[in-house]
Amino acid sequence: MSPHSYAAQYRATGLSSAVMDADPHRLVALLLAGACDRIRLAEACVPRGDLARKGKAIGEACAIIGHLNGSLDHEAGGQIAANLSSLYDYLQARLTEANLNNDVSALHETLELLGEIESAWLAIPQQHQQPLSSIGA
């Protein structure tokens, strides 16, 4: 097994442990961080001309954002859930445009917006963190 394979296996094991030990609030944080990481990877791939890797990273980011969008509880989350859903839809549209046009500015925009969501999510004090089903995220 190559050193890269060992490193990938180590990362996968670490991520699996983090997910299994995470509460719902932490799981959302991990998803947001994962989407941001993939968008950064896509940004780095465009100038190198690595279009296959860019496309894969954008596809993974879209899948994560789609999962976040699908997990929103619109009944419990009300207007906040509706606004987040609209923002997630916008992010996916911009990522699709970025993928089709190799548009680094669209990737940068999505990263900034997703980073704002991530910052707000991480700023929630622990005593206010509730199960996903009661907050709509």
* pLDDT tens digit sequence for 80-135: 999 999 999 999 999 999 999 999 999 999 999 999 999 999 998 876 666 544 44
Instruction: Tell me what the mean pLDDT of segment 41-70 comes to.
Output: 97
Domains of the chain: total = 1
Instruction: Report the percentage of the chain scoring pLDDT > 70.
Output: 76
Are the CB atoms for 117 and 87 separated by under 8 Å? yes
Q: Give 104's contacts (C-beta < 8 A, 6+ positions apart).
A: 43, 46, 47, 98
Does residue 78 lie in a domain region?
yes
Question: What's the CATH number where 51 sits?
Answer: 1.20.120.340
Cα angle 69, 9, 36 (rounded to 5 degrees) comes to: 30
For 70, the domain range is 3-123
Does residue 23 lie in a domain region?
yes
